[in-house]
Structure 1
Amino acid sequence: MDALDAWCQALPKTELHIHLLGAVLPATFAEWAARAGMPAAEADALYARDARPKGVLHILRALEQRLLKRPADLHRAAYEHLAAAAAQNVRHSELFWNPTGTAHLFPYATGADAILASFADAAAEFGVSALLIPAIDREDTPEAAEQLVEWMAAHRREGIVGLGIDYRETDRPPELFWRAWAAAKRAGFRLTAHAGEFGCHPRNIRTALELVGVDRLDHAYTAVEDPALLARLRDSAMVVTVVPTNSHYLRTLAPERWALDHPIRAMAAAGLAIHPNTDDPPMHRVTPARCWAMMARDFGFGREELRRFTLNGVRGSFLEDAAKRHLEASFAAAFDALEFPSV
């Protein structure tokens, strides 16, 4: 481990953009595949990530439709993720879960309680806090999204704080689900949305801001195509979670230009409040420490920029204000005690 990798390992971190099923560890995936009778070669091919990856949605669908069997599987996935994250000095994590994808197996409340129990176990054992954000499956119907919000309102839990939206964005803009968004806001949930992820038109980001009224944005890369939108995001100081290992840009940008042309670089230069995340860490073959090392080594961000990104992660979290203030002070002190290496 070189000096930068060691520094990134020691850095106090939040993870605000993690998909629960995308955090399933390879050994756990293989075990569940064998349990479901899936041939090992098929399981290995599903989990493979090539140099120019095609994304992970097919893996998440396999988990939902074939491999998950019981609420304890959700507990295990969340617990193992938090254990691995805590070992990387992640102190707070916020996980997306698509309850409609597991509704054929067990009720919403049963799955939610299993995940929240894992959060309590991980907090007691590793000292890491976590919050759960149920997410709309945008490849499903608007009615399914409304049903999800009804479940959330009917089965309130302290650790369930907001509503998100994910899966394939192409041809599935945020406004399709306006009734679900409005119901969630009325019920007092925070809102965040994947928008501008797959090279889609920046209007999806505008819709998330103007119609949905999100509190946070996920990805939002195509904002760089709209100078007025970019300025609006800068002036609002809204936190935008970004993913250095996002498969769309690894696949579509030339390897020698990837770090130079990636929207993350332009977003930071424009003054957006970005915060780097791992998204689907084992499937992206990334750890929190490596994610931050990529921000320094590949994108060229220096100490003060990384400090700002670190504190953005606290400010953009859905923690209560008192917890945010405590965590921000702790992070600032820990960051300032670290000697930044030459890159």
Structure 2
Amino acid sequence: MPPTPALESFLHAIPKVELHCHLFGTVRHATFAALNRQAGMPLAEDEVEAFYTRGEKPVGVLRVLRALDAQLIRSADDLYRITHEYLEDAAAHNVRYSEFCWNPTGTVHASGIGYAAAQQAIVRAIHDAERQFGIVGRLIAAIDREASPEAAVEMVDWVTAQRCEEVIGIGIDYRENDRPPELFVQAYRNARSAGLRTTAHAGEFGMPWTNVRTALDLLQVDRIDHGYTVVDQPDFARECAERGVLFTVVPTNSYYLRTLPPERWALDHPIRRMPGLGLRIHPNTDDPTLHQVTPTQAWAMMVRDFGFGLDDLRGFMHNGLDGAWIDDTTRRAWRTRWSAEFDALRARLPQDTPTLSGN
């Protein structure tokens, strides 16, 4: 059942954290076109348009991200612009705290911008956005798993050499298919030794649940991005539930849209089953402009497509706060304040608003 206008307004207004979002997946259509013109039009206009056309079985997101590094991002100011615009857009949907990912390896080696200058530009945008829009931004430096393990170690070295409080941890993303987590154990070991928090994309694109286990037990990550195939091994899923692992899920993840029949994708999607196994999940946008989804719409999909109710959403909000890399004093204060806001907004919903009891 689609959310009513009243429920849509409620979902827009509730306070949110974003824990799984890729900076290059947030670039506005107009900004992408402007960067293309600035770079001398290396991409044809119809190719740019195609990047922002999402069909029933979407493809090509990774190609867009590579094009930005290889052809369009040419200065630290470009990074400032897209960061500032992302945080402005997120704040417009009442995202109050965002931990977003950026891949330094591509920026340094493909775009030709030094790590220190790139980090400084992104951090400057974080400061300006907090002052202007009230959103707190924090950066996750993500390993490019399609590069070498040595490049991952190099990237962690850059982060630790230029350490600042706005860069709070590392992650790993891009194509998981033939790049299992164990290839990057040294980079993760170095990051943990430096006091950085850690996450990893695992169990995405139908990759085996054992990748989730490796990320947790060998890389010793604090949380998992995606992790859907954990449902294939219920015993391990129960172990993850007992350990309190947070899974940052993405309702618009294109793998299941491509591989499941249209009439079944939401019914058979692992997101629908994960809470029933005791797993803690939290919805995120991943690549919002390329997926054509806002934070409000991501939360609405949890109701419309996966059948979760308002009690579930309140729990997902708490899961996000519990999984965020913030200090415990802030966590407690936000949990108290946000819970009160959620409940007050809920109390104002019309009596006939479908609230759905859950799956």
| 1:26 match | 29
| Residue among 201, 205, 214 paired with 1:207 | 214
Aligned partners of 2:93, 2:323: CA distance in 1, in Å?
20
| 1:342 match | 354
| 2:92 match | 87
| 1:233 match | 240
Percent identity over the alignment?
52
Q: 1:239 Cα deviation (Å)?
A: 1.1
TM-score between the two structures when normalised by the length of structure 1: 0.98
The reply on whether 1:11 has 2:23 as its aligned counterpart is no
Aligned partners of 2:327, 2:116: CA distance in 1, in Å?
23
The reply on whether 1:302 has 2:271 as its aligned counterpart is no
Query: What count of residue pairs does the alignment treat as equivalent?
Result: 343
Write the mapping of 1:237-276 to structure 2, written as runs, cut at 5 A: 237-276=244-283
2:166 aligns to what SS in structure 1? coil
| 2:71 match | 66
Instruction: Letter of the 2:6 partner, please give it.
Output: A
1:83 aligns to what SS in structure 2? helix
| Residue among 136, 155, 160 paired with 2:162 | 155
| 1:35 match | 38
| 1:223 match | 230
Instruction: Letter of the 2:308 partner, please give it.
Output: F
Q: 1:48 Cα deviation (Å)?
A: 2.3
Aligned partners of 1:109, 1:316: CA distance in 2, in Å?
28
Aligned partners of 2:154, 2:104: CA distance in 1, in Å?
10
The answer (yes or no) to whether the contact 1:88–1:288 under 8 Å persists in 2 is yes
Aligned Cα root-mean-square deviation (Å)? 1.1
Q: 1:276 Cα deviation (Å)?
A: 0.1
| Residue among 69, 73, 80 paired with 1:75 | 80
1:162 aligns to what SS in structure 2? strand
Instruction: Letter of the 2:56 partner, please give it.
Output: A
Write the mapping of 1:291-330 to structure 2, written as runs, cut at 5 A: 291-330=298-337
| 1:196 match | 203
The reply on whether 1:289 has 2:301 as its aligned counterpart is no
Q: Which moved more, 1:247-256 or 1:48-57?
A: 48-57
Q: 1:55 Cα deviation (Å)?
A: 4.4
Instruction: Letter of the 1:292 partner, please give it.
Output: W
The answer (yes or no) to whether the contact 2:234–2:277 under 8 Å persists in 1 is no
| 2:102 match | 97
Instruction: Letter of the 1:342 partner, please give it.
Output: P
Query: Which ranges of structure 1 fall in alignment gaps of 5 or more residues?
Result: none
The answer (yes or no) to whether the contact 2:257–2:265 under 8 Å persists in 1 is yes
Query: Which ranges of structure 2 fall in alignment gaps of 5 or more residues?
Result: none
Q: 1:243 Cα deviation (Å)?
A: 0.2
The answer (yes or no) to whether the contact 2:52–2:289 under 8 Å persists in 1 is no
The Cα offsets for residues 9-49 of structure 1, whole Å up to 9 and x where unpaired, read as 11111100010001111110111112221221121123322
Aligned partners of 1:130, 1:320: CA distance in 2, in Å?
14
| Residue among 324, 328, 331 paired with 2:338 | 331
1:102 aligns to what SS in structure 2? helix
| Residue among 174, 178, 186 paired with 1:171 | 178
The answer (yes or no) to whether the contact 2:14–2:341 under 8 Å persists in 1 is yes
1:133 aligns to what SS in structure 2? strand
Aligned partners of 1:245, 1:42: CA distance in 2, in Å?
22
Aligned partners of 1:46, 1:85: CA distance in 2, in Å?
21
The answer (yes or no) to whether the contact 2:23–2:83 under 8 Å persists in 1 is yes
Aligned partners of 1:253, 1:55: CA distance in 2, in Å?
18
1:178 aligns to what SS in structure 2? helix
| Residue among 131, 142, 146 paired with 1:135 | 142
Q: 1:106 Cα deviation (Å)?
A: 1.2
